[in-house]
């Protein structure tokens, strides 16, 4: 019943957003027909340009979800603390689970007594990138940004997990959870949803259905984010003159990277939508280091990412999460700026 109620609330919201978008486009077409048409052409060309790299990422993401690989990542949290943190950071950087998607698994692990350190490592690295995001980043911003973002995700998880291990001294993760109904329900749900791994998803009707469903959901997500984002990039390029942002977030400004983290990241909405916008910002003078700091911090410091974690973590672990995310994002931005 709760799921049905949530769906009934989300459906009108999506319809309102879609209707508002069409209405805005209609008004723009009437007031500025040339601008609207050029924006549509720019958006279509952008989608065609990124398709060869995005499509394989979508298929890989769907396979991971349908094969049950996302259900067995808990094995990374077993064993010696250093190995657990290392494995959790690495898996988090390459698996397509983040935000609300990974919440039941993380809460279940904490409730089962898994130390907070490897959970923190995965929690920090997983929202930054995934196979589809890697491909989309390469297509939109170039291979250097795609590789840098993946390395930054792993580094952020490793950094956060290591610091957490020193601060918590291997304490049970149960002490980090809030004592409320949400945390209890998520923990129960995660423990009860065990699934086996099978790479041959075509042999099972349920896995095939899950694969097709994931392809549809991921494609819809990417299109719903990229279409307005490419149009926003076109509008941004029309509004800004080349190099205009160099005054604020250019390579020679010491505050460029902190500004990208503390100002841009809280307003960050979606990783896919941020890519064309970031490309437009870079084209208009944003330094590469500031752009990387914005991309990395956006996934872990944004309002949307924080809201998924705050209801289940106590205040001190939650503040530790934010501090590690901000510090790691700043380090990622400075490091990328040095090597780019």
- pLDDT confidence bin for 189, thresholds 50/70/90: very low
Residues 15-39 have pLDDT tens digits of 555 555 566 666 666 666 787 788 8
pTM over 0.85: no
Would you state the pLDDT for residue 6?
37
d(CA 293, CA 99): 19
Asked if residues 260 and 293 have their Cβ atoms less than 8 Å apart, the reply is: yes
Q: Is the pLDDT of residue 4 over 70?
A: no
d(CA 199, CA 48): 30
172: β partners: 115
Q: Is the pLDDT of residue 14 over 70?
A: no
Would you state the pLDDT for residue 264?
63
d(CA 43, CA 37): 10
Q: Tell me the CA distances in angstroms from 311 to 99, 108, 182, 268, 316, one per residue in order.
A: 13, 14, 8, 20, 13
Would you state the pLDDT for residue 151?
93
Q: Is the pLDDT of residue 184 over 60?
A: no
Would you state the pLDDT for residue 258?
86
d(CA 75, CA 31): 57
- Angle between the N-to-C axes of helices 103-111 and 181-192, in degrees from 0 to 180, rounded to the nearest 10: 90
The overall average pLDDT reported for the chain is: 75
Would you state the pLDDT for residue 3?
40
Would you state the pLDDT for residue 13?
46
- pLDDT confidence bin for 10, thresholds 50/70/90: very low
Element (H, E) at 313: none
- pLDDT confidence bin for 336, thresholds 50/70/90: very high
Would you state the pLDDT for residue 8?
40
Span 58-75, mean pLDDT? 73
CA torsion, points 294, 299, 300, 303, in degrees to nearest 10? 90
Q: Counting beta carbons within 10 angstroms of the beta carbon of residue 29, is it exposed (0 to 12), middle (13 to 18) or buried (19 or more)?
A: middle
Would you state the pLDDT for residue 163?
94
| Domain boundaries along the sequence of the chain | 34-190+199-339
Higher pLDDT residue, 110 or 76? 110
Q: Tell me the CA distances in angstroms from 328 to 20, 110, 286, 323, one per residue in order.
A: 37, 23, 20, 8
Residues 280-306 have pLDDT tens digits of 778 877 788 888 988 888 778 766 566
Span 310-339, mean pLDDT? 88
Span 117-141, mean pLDDT? 85
């Amino acid at each position: 019943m709760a799921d049905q109620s949530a769906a009934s609330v989300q459906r009108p919201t999506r319809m309102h957003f879609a209707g508002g978008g069409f209405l805005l486009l209609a008004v723009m077409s009437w007031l500025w027909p040339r601008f609207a048409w050029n924006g549509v052409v720019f958006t279509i060309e952008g989608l065609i340009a990124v398709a060869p790299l995005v499509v394989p990422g979508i298929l890989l993401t769907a396979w991971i979800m349908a094969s049950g690989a996302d259900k067995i990542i808990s094995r990374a949290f077993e064993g010696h603390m250093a190995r657990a943190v290392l494995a959790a950071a690495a898996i988090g950087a390459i698996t397509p689970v983040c935000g609300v998607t990974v919440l039941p698994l993380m809460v279940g692990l904490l409730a089962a007594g898994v130390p907070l350190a490897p959970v923190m490592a995965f929690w920090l690295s997983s929202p930054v990138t995934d196979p589809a995001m890697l491909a989309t980043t390469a297509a939109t911003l170039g291979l250097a940004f795609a590789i840098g973002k993946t390395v930054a995700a792993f580094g952020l998880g490793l950094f956060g997990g290591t610091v957490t291990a020193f601060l918590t001294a291997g304490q049970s993760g149960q002490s980090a959870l809030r004592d409320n109904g949400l945390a209890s329900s998520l923990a129960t749900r995660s423990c009860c949803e065990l699934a086996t791994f099978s790479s041959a998803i075509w042999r099972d009707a349920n896995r095939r259905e899950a694969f097709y469903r994931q392809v549809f959901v991921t494609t819809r997500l990417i299109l719903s984010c990229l279409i307005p984002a490419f149009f926003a990039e076109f509008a941004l390029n029309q509004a800004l003159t080349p190099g205009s942002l160099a005054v604020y977030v250019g390579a020679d400004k010491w505050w460029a990277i902190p500004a990208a983290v503390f100002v841009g990241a809280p307003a960050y909405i979606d990783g896919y939508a941020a890519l064309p916008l970031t490309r437009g910002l870079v084209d208009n003078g944003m330094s590469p280091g500031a752009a990387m700091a914005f991309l990395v911090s956006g996934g872990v410091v944004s309002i949307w990412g924080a809201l998924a974690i705050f209801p289940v973590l106590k205040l001190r672990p939650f503040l530790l999460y934010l501090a590690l995310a901000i510090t790691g994002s700043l380090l990622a931005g400075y490091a990328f700026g040095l090597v780019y």
